[in-house]
Structure 1
Amino acid sequence: MPFDLILRGGRVIDPSQKLDAVTDIAFAGGKVAMVGHALHADGKTVVRDVSGHIVTAGLIDMHTHVYWGGTSLGIDAEEFCRTCGVTTAIDTGSAGPGNFAGFRKHVIEPSQVRILAYLHISHAGIFGFSQRVMVGESEELRLMNPVEAVEVAEANRDLIVGIKVRVGRHSSGTSGIVPLEIALEVAEEVGMPLMAHIDHPPPSYEEVIARLRPGDVLTHAFRPFPNSPATAQGTVKRAVREARERGVLFDIGHGQGSFAFKTARAMLANGFAPDTISSDVHALCINGPAFDQVTTMSKFLCMGMPLTEVIAASTVNAAMALKRPELGSLKPGSVGDATVIAIREGQFDYVDVVGEHLTGNRKIASEGVVIGGRWWHPN
C-alpha cells in the first residue's frame, strides 16, 4: 500500500489501543493506514522525522466557540487549531436553530479543521456575550425553540452531535431549571446527548446533574464556589459521585470563569478525574486564563494527572462522548488526524479563573498536526 505520509520515530501514545511505544505511523487516503516499525516509503511518500516528540490521535477540544463573525464570542478555528494541536473543535451552542445555517455555510463547510457542534436550544444561540453586553440567552423563555431545534438537528446529523443549554444565574436568570427541561425534551426527541452549562446558582449543581441522563455531559464541572462539585472539607459531593455512577460525563470547559485549581485538586485527590478536558476557548478567554487546549491539558499534567490519562481525556474519551468512534484513535482505518506534541520542562506559570497561580514544571506544546492524512497548516 503506498502511503501519503509517514511520521517516523515518535513516541506514539494512543489510549484507545493501550499503545505507548516508539514507532512509525502511516496515513493513506485520509485515514490511518498502519502503525509499525520502519514503515516503507516510496517516492511519493512524505516522511517527517518526529523522533523525540509524542504523537497522539488528533486532539479534540470538547468545548469551543468558533462561530467567527457570527457571534461576538467566536474565534477563528483554523488559527486556534494550528497553534494548539486541535484537529476537531466542538462548538458548544454558539448557534441555535435560528442561525445554524449560517454557521454551517460560512464557517464549518469552508474550514479545513473539523468542526462539530452542539445545537443551542435558544433560537439564536449565545448572541449577547461580549465585554460590554452580557445577556443570558436562557433568561428569556420566548427564545426557547424546541420545535425548530428538532428540525435543525435532524437535518444536520452529519455535524450536530448534541443539544446545548446554559443554566445558572448569569445564563438563565429567573428561568432557573426550565431551559434545561426544554433542552432535555429536544435531546430525547432526536436521540442525542445533551451538554449542560452551569454557572452561579440558581439552579444548584445538584439540581442540574439530577436531571442528566447517561451520556449527557456537564461542562464547567470543576468550577469554583459557588456551585462547586467539592465540599468545603475537600470531598466530592455524594450527588456528583452518584451521577457519574449512572453515566453522566464531566467535562472541564475552562473558559473565563469555570475552572479553579482548588476544586481540581480536591477532585483529583478523591480519584475523580474529568472524563474530558476542554478549553471553552472564546474571544474573552483566549488571551487568558484559558488560552487554549494544550494549556488546559498542561494544568492537569502539573497537578499530577498521568500523561496517558490527560491524552485520553482529549482524544478517545471525547470521541466516545461524541459518539464518533472514528475520531480520537490511531487505529488503522480511523480518521487520519494526529497531533505532534512535546513535553517541555522548566518553570511555567498557570492561572485559574479566580486568580490563583500554579507554578508547574511541565508544559505540553503543540509541534504540528496531521489533518486528513496530510501535514497541515492554514494557507
Structure 2
Amino acid sequence: MQFDLILTGGRVIDPSQNLDAVADVAFAGGKVARVAPSIAPTPGAEVRNVAGHIVTPGLIDLHTHVYVHGTSLGIDADEFCRSSGVTTAVDTGSAGPGNFMGFRKHVIEKSEARILAYLHVSHAGIYGFSDRVMVGESEEMRLMNPIDAVAVADANRDVIVGIKVRVGKHASGTSGTAPLDVALQVAEEVGMPLMAHIDHPPPSYEEVVERLRPGDVLTHAFRPFPNAPVTPQGRVKQVVLAARERGVLFDIGHGKGSFAFRTARAMLANGFMPDTISSDVHVLCINGPAFDQVTTLSKFLCLGVPLPEVIRATTVNAAMALKRPELGSLRPGSPGDATILSIEEGRFDYVDVVGEHLEGDRRIVSDAVVLAGKWWHAREGASFGRA
C-alpha cells in the first residue's frame, strides 16, 4: 500500500482499541491505513517524527457554537480546531429550522474541519446571546417549531446528529419542561438523540434528567448550585444514577456558566466520570473561563482523571454519543484524523465558572492536527522532523 503520511515514534493513545503504546500511524487516501510498532515508509510518503508526543484519534468537541457571523455567539470553527486539536466540532443548537440552511451553506460546507450539528427545536436557534442582549429562545413557546424541525433534520441527516433544546431560568424563563417535551417529540419522530441544556431552575435537574431517554445527552452535567447533580452532602443524586443506568449520557459543556470544580470533585469522588468532556466554546467564554477543548481536558487531568480516560471522553465516547462510530478511532479504515498532543509540567492556573482557581501541575497542549490524512496544522514553535 502507498502511504501519504506516516507519524512515527509517538505514544499512541486510542481508547477505541485499548491501545496505549509507542507506535507508528500511517494514512492513505484520507483514511487511517495502519497502526503498528514500526511502519516502513513507501516512496513519496510524508514522514513526521512525533517522538515525545502523544498521538490520539482526532479530538471531538461535543459542544461548540461555530455559526460564525450567523449568530452573535459563533466562533470560527477552523481557527478553533487548529488551536485546540479538534477535528470534529459539534455545534449544539446555534441554528434552528428557520436558519439552518444558512449555517450549512455558509459555514459547514466551507469549513475544512468537520462540523456536525444538533438542530435547535426553536425556529431561529440561539439568536439572543451576547454581552448586551440575553434572550432565552425557549422562553417564547411560539418559537418552538417542531414540524419544520422534523423536516430539516430529516433532510440533513448527513450533518445533523440530534435535536437540541435549552431549558432553565435563563434559557426558558418560566416555561419549565414544556420546551423539553416538544423537543423530545421531535427527537422521537426523527429517531435521533436529544441534547438538553440545563441552567438555573425552573425546571429542576431532576425534572430534566428523568425525562431523558437512552442515548440522550444532558450537557452542563457538572454545573454548580443551583441545579447541581450532587446533594449538599456530596452524594450523586439518585435520579442521576438512575438516568445513567438506563443509558442517558452526561456531557460537561463547560462554557461561561456550567462547570464547577466543587461539583466535579464530588462527582469524581463518587466514581461518576462524565461520558464526554466538551468545551461549549462561544464568544463569551473563549477568552475564559472555558478557553478551548484542551484547557477543559486539562482541568480533568489535574483533578486526577488518568490521561487515557480523558482522551476516551473526547474521542470514542463522543463518537458513540453522535452515533458515528467511525469517528474517534485510529482503526484502519477510519477517517484520517489525528491529534498530536504533549503534556507540559509546571504550575498552571485554572479557573471554573464561579471563580474558583485550581493550581494544576500539568497542561495538555495541542501541537499538531492531521485532517483527512493530511498534515493540517502545527502549533507555532512545535518542531517535527520530516524524513
TM above 0.5: yes
Q: Which residue pairs with 1:297 in the alignment?
A: 297
How far apart are the structure 1 equivalents of 2:175 and 2:356? 32
Could you say what secondary structure the match of 2:130 adopts? coil
Could you say what secondary structure the match of 1:223 adopts? coil
Q: Which residue pairs with 1:168 in the alignment?
A: 168
**AA at the equivalent of 1:16:** S
Q: Which residue pairs with 1:229 in the alignment?
A: 229
How far apart are the structure 1 equivalents of 2:211 and 2:23? 45
| Pairing of 1:102-113 with structure 2 (within 5 A) | 102-113=102-113
How far apart are the structure 2 equivalents of 1:64 and 1:108? 13
Q: Which residue pairs with 2:283 in the alignment?
A: 283
**AA at the equivalent of 2:205:** Y
| Pairing of 1:34-113 with structure 2 (within 5 A) | 34-113=34-113
**AA at the equivalent of 1:76:** D
Could you say what secondary structure the match of 1:284 adopts? coil
Whether 1:254 and 2:254 are equivalent positions in the alignment is yes
Percent identity over the alignment is: 78
Q: Which residue pairs with 2:32 in the alignment?
A: 32
How far apart are the structure 1 equivalents of 2:231 and 2:336? 43
Q: Which residue pairs with 2:198 in the alignment?
A: 198
Q: Which residue pairs with 1:342 in the alignment?
A: 342
**AA at the equivalent of 2:162:** G
How far apart are the structure 2 equivalents of 1:221 and 1:246? 16
Q: Which residue pairs with 1:213 in the alignment?
A: 213
Q: Which residue pairs with 1:353 in the alignment?
A: 353
**AA at the equivalent of 2:82:** R
Q: Which residue pairs with 1:143 in the alignment?
A: 143
Quote how far apart the aligned CAs of 1:377 are. Answer: 3.2
Q: TM-score, normalised to structure 2's length?
A: 0.97
Q: TM-score, normalised to structure 1's length?
A: 0.99
Whether 1:332 and 2:351 are equivalent positions in the alignment is no
Could you say what secondary structure the match of 2:148 adopts? helix
How big is each residue's C-alpha offset from its partner over 1:151-194, in whole Å with a ceiling of 9 and x where there is no partner? 00000000000000000000000111100000000000000000
Q: Which residue pairs with 1:311 in the alignment?
A: 311
How far apart are the structure 1 equivalents of 2:42 and 2:341? 26
**Runs of 4+ residues over 6 Å off in structure 1:** none
Could you say what secondary structure the match of 2:20 adopts? strand
How far apart are the structure 1 equivalents of 2:153 and 2:40? 44
How far apart are the structure 1 equivalents of 2:84 and 2:320? 22
**AA at the equivalent of 1:226:** P
Could you say what secondary structure the match of 1:175 adopts? coil
**AA at the equivalent of 1:55:** V
Contiguous gaps of at least 5 residues in structure 1: none
How big is each residue's C-alpha offset from its partner over 1:39-91, in whole Å with a ceiling of 9 and x where there is no partner? 12123100000000000000000000000000000000000010110000000
How far apart are the structure 2 equivalents of 1:44 and 1:189? 50
**AA at the equivalent of 1:52:** G
**AA at the equivalent of 1:377:** H
How far apart are the structure 1 equivalents of 2:102 and 2:284? 22
**AA at the equivalent of 1:187:** A
How far apart are the structure 1 equivalents of 2:249 and 2:316? 14
Could you say what secondary structure the match of 1:207 adopts? helix
How far apart are the structure 2 equivalents of 1:175 and 1:203? 8
How far apart are the structure 2 equivalents of 1:315 and 1:116? 15
Whether 1:185 and 2:185 are equivalent positions in the alignment is yes
Could you say what secondary structure the match of 2:88 adopts? strand
**AA at the equivalent of 1:26:** A
Q: Which residue pairs with 1:23 in the alignment?
A: 23
Whether 1:4 and 2:4 are equivalent positions in the alignment is yes
CA contact (8 A) 2:343 2:362 kept: yes
Q: Which residue pairs with 2:384 in the alignment?
A: none
Could you say what secondary structure the match of 1:232 adopts? coil
Could you say what secondary structure the match of 2:197 adopts? strand
CA contact (8 A) 2:2 2:43 kept: no
Quote how far apart the aligned CAs of 1:114 are. Answer: 0.1
Contiguous gaps of at least 5 residues in structure 2: 379-387
Could you say what secondary structure the match of 1:171 adopts? helix
Q: Which residue pairs with 1:133 in the alignment?
A: 133
How far apart are the structure 2 equivalents of 1:303 and 1:37? 32
Could you say what secondary structure the match of 2:129 adopts? coil
How far apart are the structure 1 equivalents of 2:250 and 2:263? 13
How big is each residue's C-alpha offset from its partner over 1:247-286, in whole Å with a ceiling of 9 and x where there is no partner? 0000000000000000000000000000000000000000
**AA at the equivalent of 1:341:** L
